[in-house]
Structure 1
C-alpha cells in the first residue's frame, strides 16, 4: 500500500489530459512563419530593483515603473526585475532605455525558442524558466527575457509569484560579495546560471517519478500504468524541447566579442555551458529509461498473458481425456455392456479420477505448472 500511495500524485493524469493537450499544442505547434503570439495584456504585478556597488546597495520594490527611470544615469550597476508585463509598460521601458524594437517584439512574444542576440549596445537573451508541479506531476514554464546593457540588466518575467532568483537577491544584500564587486555582465551570468541549475531540480523530480513507475510496472501492469508512462514521456519531451536550445544561447555568450562582457566573466559562461550539456544528457537518459519502461510494460503484459494461456492450456489438457471418456459413454447405443454393470458408474468415475491425478502428477514432475 505504501508503494501505491507514493504514486498518487500521478493519478490525476487522466483528469488533466485536456489542459495538457492545450499546452502541448501551444508548445509543439508554434509556427514562427505565422508571426509571434502576443501576450495577454496584464498589469504589472511587481518591479524589484537593485542599484549597487561593492559598498552600497539600494533595494526597491514597487508597482510604479517610472521609479526605475531615476536610475538611468546611475554609475552603479542596476538590476531591474519586472513581474507581470504588458505592451505599454514594455514599450515605455524599451523607449527610455533605447532598446531596439525587435527586442521589444521578442519580449512581448511567447512560445519562442531560447536564443541570444546582439543588437546595438545590448545583449539580449530569452529562455524558459521551468517548475515542477507536485500536485499534477506536470512541468510548467514561463518565458524570461534578459537585456544586458553597460550599467544595467533588465529581466522580464510572466509569473509574479515565483522565480529562482532569491539566492541572487540574498547575495546582493551582502556587502563586498563577488556579485556586488563585479559588473552587470557577472549579474547576467548569475541569472543564467541559476536558471540552468533549476533545470536539474525538475529533471530529478521526473527521475523520481520514473523510478516509481518501475516499481508500479512490477505490481500493476495495466492500461492505467501505461497511460502514466506515456504522460511522463510527453512531459519529458516538452522539457527537452524547452531546454535543448539553451545550449546555443550560452555558446553565444561564450563566443561573443561584445564590450559588455569582460574577459574575466566570459570564462564563467563555460561553467553554465557544461551544466546545460549535462542537463540535456540527463533528459536524454531519462527519455531512454521511459522507452525501456514501455518495453518492460509490454514484457510484463506478455508474461501475464503467457501465464493465463498456460493455465488455460493445462486445464484444457486435463479435461480433454475426461471429455473423451464421457463422450464415449454418452453415446446412445443399446449394445454397450458397461451400461448395465451394477458398479459401472463408479468404475468409470474411478478411472477418470485416476487419469486426472496421473496427468497432474506427470505435469508437475515435468515442471509445466
Structure 2
C-alpha cells in the first residue's frame, strides 16, 4: 500500500526528494538488475543504445518538440522488478497505482484494461516442460506472466518467470523494416508492440497445445488399451487434467480482450494494427477450443477409467461368487455326513464312499460348466 500511496501522491506536484532519480541515474549501456533493455524508437528504427528510463523519456519528449508530431516512443523491458525499482518508472510515466500493483505482485488473471490513455494488458505465458514419460507427478506446462503498459509514447513490459523472454521479439521487430505498406511495423507506435507481444504469446500457446496433444493421445491409448482389464493409473490422468486446467485458465479469459482490441471503437490502437489483432483473436479462439477439447476428453477418460475398474471388480466378484457356490456343494455334503448318524443313505454300503465322491464331482463339474457358459468363469 505504501507504493500505491506514493504513486497517488505523484500525480500532484511535489518537491523532489533525494533519491527520486536513483533508479534513473544510470549511464547509457548500463541497467539496474530489473531493466532488461530500454531504447527509443523513431519512425520504426532504434535510436541509440540502451539508456535509462529517464533518458528515454527525455529523448522522446525532445523528438516530439522537434518534429511537432508524434513519431517516437520508448520501450522499457523489465524482469520481476521490486516495488522500489518500479516506483520511479511508474511516477515518470504516470502509471495508474492499481495497474502498477498488479504488475509488481503478479499472479493476475489475463486481461486488458484501460487507464485514461494507457492500455494495461496481462498475459499468461506458457512453456511446455519436456518429460520422457508422463507420471502422476509430471509437470507438463510451466506458466509465467507478462504485463504490458502501452501509452501514447511508451511501452513498458514487465515479465515474471524464467521463460518467454522478449529479447528475440524485440530484435526481430527492429530488423523488420519492410511492412505491408513499405514502412516498419514499429513505426505504428506502441500498439504495434502490444500486438507483437500478444501474437508472440498466442503462437506459444499454439505450440504448447500441439505438443500437449501427444500426451493426451498417450493417456487415451493407455485407458482404452485395457491392460488386464485394470485400467490405467488414474493419477496420470488427473495430473494431466490439472496441467490442462492451468493452460485453460491462461487462454480462456484473454479471448474477449483480444476481440475488443480489434474493434474500430478502440481508439488507443492504431487502425492499421486492429486487423492484426483480429488474426490474434482467431488463433486464440482455436487454442481455446483445443484446450477445452482436452479438458472434456480427459473428463471422459477419467469416467472411462473408473468404468473399467468397476467392470473389472464386478468380474472378480462374479468369479469369486461362482467358485464359492461350487465349493459350497462338497462342503454341504461332507458336513451332512460328518454328523455320524447310524441310519444314513449308503452309510454302510460297500461302494457308498466312492459314490458320494462321484456325486459331488458330478455336481461341481455341472455347476462349473453352467457358470462358464454364462460368462462367470
Superposition TM-score tier, normalisation by shorter sequence: 0.7 to 0.9
Q: What is aligned with 2:22? A: none
Question: CA distance change for structure 1 residues 325 and 298 in 2, over 3 Å: closer, same or farther?
Answer: same
Matched, 1:171 2:172: yes
Q: What is aligned with 1:97? A: 93
Question: CA distance change for structure 1 residues 121 and 264 in 2, over 3 Å: closer, same or farther?
Answer: same
Q: Which moved more, 1:120-129 or 1:166-175?
A: 166-175
Query: What TM-score, normalized by structure 2, do the two folds share?
Result: 0.74
User: Following superposition of structure 1 onto structure 2, how do residues 345-356 of structure 1 map, counting pairs within 5 Å?
Assistant: 345-356=353-364
The Cα of 1:205 is off from its aligned counterpart by 4.2
- CA deviation profile, 1:333-368 (whole Å, cap 9, x unmatched): 022363333443223222322333333334444554
**How many Å separate the matches in 2 of 1:283 and 1:252?**
22
**How many Å separate the matches in 2 of 1:237 and 1:312?**
41
Q: What is aligned with 2:184? A: 180
**How many Å separate the matches in 1 of 2:48 and 2:333?**
96
Question: CA distance change for structure 1 residues 165 and 47 in 2, over 3 Å: closer, same or farther?
Answer: closer
Greater radius of gyration (CA): 2
Matched, 1:144 2:146: yes
Mapped contact 1:94–1:104 kept (Cα < 8 A): yes
Q: Which moved more, 1:314-323 or 1:132-141?
A: 132-141
Mapped contact 1:213–1:229 kept (Cα < 8 A): yes
Helix, strand or coil for the counterpart of 1:338? Answer: coil
The Cα of 1:258 is off from its aligned counterpart by 5.3
Aligned residues: 326
Give unpaired runs (5+ residues) of structure 1: 1-34, 36-42
Q: What is aligned with 1:157? A: 159
Helix, strand or coil for the counterpart of 2:143? Answer: strand
Helix, strand or coil for the counterpart of 2:76? Answer: strand
Q: What is aligned with 2:322? A: 314
- For the aligned residue pairs, the C-alpha RMSD in angstroms reads 3.2
User: Following superposition of structure 1 onto structure 2, how do residues 205-224 of structure 1 map, counting pairs within 5 Å?
Assistant: 205-217=211-223, 218-219=226-227
**How many Å separate the matches in 2 of 1:77 and 1:220?**
65
Helix, strand or coil for the counterpart of 1:255? Answer: coil
Q: Which moved more, 1:100-109 or 1:301-310?
A: 100-109
Helix, strand or coil for the counterpart of 2:109? Answer: coil
Question: CA distance change for structure 1 residues 70 and 294 in 2, over 3 Å: closer, same or farther?
Answer: same
The Cα of 1:53 is off from its aligned counterpart by 5.7
Give unpaired runs (5+ residues) of structure 2: 5-31, 64-70, 132-137
- CA deviation profile, 1:156-212 (whole Å, cap 9, x unmatched): 1123x4215465234235352438344222221111111122223333444333322
Question: CA distance change for structure 1 residues 175 and 328 in 2, over 3 Å: closer, same or farther?
Answer: closer
Q: What is aligned with 1:47? A: 36
Helix, strand or coil for the counterpart of 1:99? Answer: coil
The Cα of 1:266 is off from its aligned counterpart by 0.7
Question: CA distance change for structure 1 residues 186 and 298 in 2, over 3 Å: closer, same or farther?
Answer: same
Q: What is aligned with 1:122? A: 118
Mapped contact 1:54–1:177 kept (Cα < 8 A): no
- CA deviation profile, 1:288-327 (whole Å, cap 9, x unmatched): 1121112101210111012102211221232233233222
- CA deviation profile, 1:113-134 (whole Å, cap 9, x unmatched): 2222233332221222122333
